[in-house]
Chains A and B, each alone.
Chain A
Amino acid sequence: MGRGGARHPLVELTLARVREFFREPEAIFWAFVFPLVLTLALAAAFPSAADRQAIVGLVDAAKAPEIQRALEAAPGLRVVPLAAADERRALRDGTVHIVVVPGDPPTYRYDPSKGESPRARLAVDDALKRGAGRADPWTAAEERVAVPGSRYVDWLIPGLIGMGIMTNGLWAVAFPIVNARLRKLLKRMMASPMQRWEYLLAQMLARLIFLVPEATLPLAFGSLALGMPIAGSYAGIALVVLVGALAFGAMGLLLGSRARTIEAASGLVNAFQLPMWLLSGVFFSSANFPAALQPVIHALPLTALNNALRTVVLDGAGAAAVWRELALLSAWGVVSFGLALRLFRWR
């Protein structure tokens, strides 16, 4: 039984989608260039902890020069002179981590909930008391441990890969479907003997071709340019990435299964993914959220993907160590695909 020079429909449907994608320059940008630019920008904004200085705003007052000397004698503190009127704004904007108001004793003004400020307060207090003649009973021997892979950027890159897999999986699957529905192309497909599940599966499979650059570019960039160690096996990383992409591709199918307009699909995709940008530990650890939220956070597919990625990439664990995350992602994928197939609007 020949197909007159055509391959299996699943192959042809997948190829059609891949070709369409590669002929759309904007799509290439979002898929490949954007994650790289984001990684670069964040790496510049968050250097490793060792390079960070605490910035101290010193309010201009009688004993200011004395205090300034004491602060500058201590390592890791940078002093910025501040007019009393600018104090609040500087704190709010984060241009200083702490404000010191000279006096007897001096006043420290800072927001303890801002990450850098408590550290700055300790350093300032230490420096000023020492400057005032405090004698330390002893000085501890210090061992600075720079664990490879412990910098913020090392932690960030797997999260960005996870986020990219989610975002591209949702948009790159949901949008073309809605577009094809608008063009009545889905209706035309239905008028042919095409199998519905083959069409849906092809949309997911087409995603896999972009997965190689999507995952390897940020990893290669992190490893070569930023010195991020890749502890895990490539096979383990590949498996996690593959399962994640298929799962989010299936969720993209589901989100695109009913929408009749691009706007409606955008709304759905955003409503689905925005909470995960915040909750699932892309930019900061999801441990920051209250315990009551943790069960929800851990049920989210992006949390599972990010945790699995970090475990294999940074901790060097094998795929077996993340079976729970892989199972959860697979469940999201299978349920989404099943629902999409049932709910899909072909007209």
Chain B
Amino acid sequence: MSTPAVRCTDLAKRYGSVVAVDGLSLAVERGECFGLLGPNGAGKTTTIEILEGLLAPDAGHVEVLGLEWAAHEPELRQRLGIQLQETQLTDKLTVQETVRLFRSFYHQGPDVDALVDLVGLTSKRDSLVLHLSGGQKQRLSIACALAGEPDLLFLDEPTTGLDPQSRRQLWEVLGAFRRQGGTILLTTHYMDEAQALCDRVAIVDQGRIIAQDTPQALITALGAPKVVTHEGTLEDVFMALTGRHLREE
């Protein structure tokens, strides 16, 4: 297992005159949790969708689990779990029906009931999606992503808009996946999320990676002067690198 879970080199993607991704390269090792960190519009979603095989890059090379999309799409689809940022699952299906639908697409994986249990929705299994809270919907979406017992999980802003308790519940689900040896590539604009979940983060700005390391190394490299009043955070790192706040538009 020497090949990385994800490797891409010199990715580029533009929409008309807007450059979304501008020569981006990265490698995610097997078993690690890797975070793409950056403000809205930095190119995180475009990057992850290229890696997921949903968008074709204008230039650059992508390998996922050592395979290329063009030649191995059916196999890759069976081995990946994907959660998209804007998907709204069908309102008029229940939790269990939704998971069952997604489970039916995969050759292998846990039982439907086990998946529902894994994301802590057993008490909601017969509720319509319509009646779930934001956090519950997001966990359902993760259950669908886990339906094929994936080697690699792609998550695009998995906790955006969730309350702190819901975020923590979701982190626990992801922690369990990692303890089984799973690899995660996620995007987020929450610093604490990256610090809590990720082994390594890449800071993305204007379609490029401007820094890449462990969260701790990035904070340490920033040096002492910046962090006298509080413990250093990735927010400080981003500000120091770009002179801007992460969350500003």
What residues make up the interface of A, taking CB atoms closer than 8 Å to B?
1-9, 11-13, 15-16, 19-20, 23-24, 180, 183-185, 187-188, 190-194, 347
Contact = CB atoms under 8 A, between A and B. Distances in A.
B197 interface: no
A16 B84 contact: no
Nearest to B103: A6
Interface of B: 52-54, 74, 77-78, 80, 82, 84, 86-90, 92-93, 97, 100-115, 128, 144, 147-148
B88 A193 contact: no
Contacts of A191: 52-54, 77, 80, 82, 84
Contact of B107 (A1, A5, A12, A192): A1
30 contacts: A4-B109, A4-B110, A4-B112, A4-B147, A6-B104, A9-B104, A11-B104, A12-B100, A16-B90, A16-B93, A16-B101, A20-B90, A20-B92, A20-B93, A183-B88, A184-B84, A184-B88, A188-B87, A188-B89, A191-B54, A191-B77, A191-B80, A191-B84, A192-B82, A192-B105, A192-B106, A192-B144, A192-B148, A193-B74, A193-B77
Nearest to A22: B92
Interface core residue of B78, B87, B111 (most chain A CB under 10 Å): B87
Contact of B101 (A12, A24, A347): A12
Contacts of B105: 9, 192-194
A3 B149 CA distance: 12
Nearest to B82: A191
Contacts of A347: 54
Nearest to A1: B107
B77 A192 contact: yes
A184 B100 contact: no
A193 B84 contact: no
User: Would you call the interface of chain A mostly helix, strand, loop, or mixed?
Assistant: loop
A3 B87 contact: no
B82 to A, nearest CB: 4
Given A16-B101, A192-B102, A193-B148, A6 B93 contact: no
Given A6-B104, A188-B87, A193 B92 contact: no
Given A16-B93, A185-B89, A5 B54 contact: no
Contacts of A13: 101, 104
B47 to A, nearest CB: 15
Contact of B78 (A11, A187, A193): A193
Contacts of A193: 74, 77-78, 105-106, 148
A82 to B, nearest CB: 58
Given A9-B104, A192-B82, 20 more contacts: A3-B103, A4-B106, A4-B114, A4-B115, A5-B103, A12-B100, A13-B101, A16-B90, A19-B97, A20-B92, A23-B128, A183-B87, A184-B84, A184-B88, A185-B90, A192-B144, A192-B148, A193-B77, A193-B106, A194-B105
A19 B148 CA distance: 24
A183 B91 CA distance: 10
Contact of B112 (A6, A20, A180, A194): A6
Q: Closest 5 CB pairs between A and B?
A: A193-B77, A6-B104, A12-B104, A191-B82, A183-B88
Nearest to B86: A184
Contacts of B87: 183-185, 187-188
B214 to A, nearest CB: 29
Contacts of A2: 108
Given A20-B93, A193-B77, A185 B104 contact: no
Nearest to A198: B105
Contact of B113 (A5, A7, A188): A5
A6 B86 contact: no
Contacts of B115: 4
A21 B78 CA distance: 29
Contact of B104 (A3, A184, A190): A3
Contacts of B92: 19-20, 23-24
A5 B125 CA distance: 14
Nearest to B54: A191
Nearest to A188: B87
B139 to A, nearest CB: 15
A11 B101 CA distance: 9
Contacts of A12: 100-101, 104
A169 B161 CA distance: 39
A3 B106 contact: yes
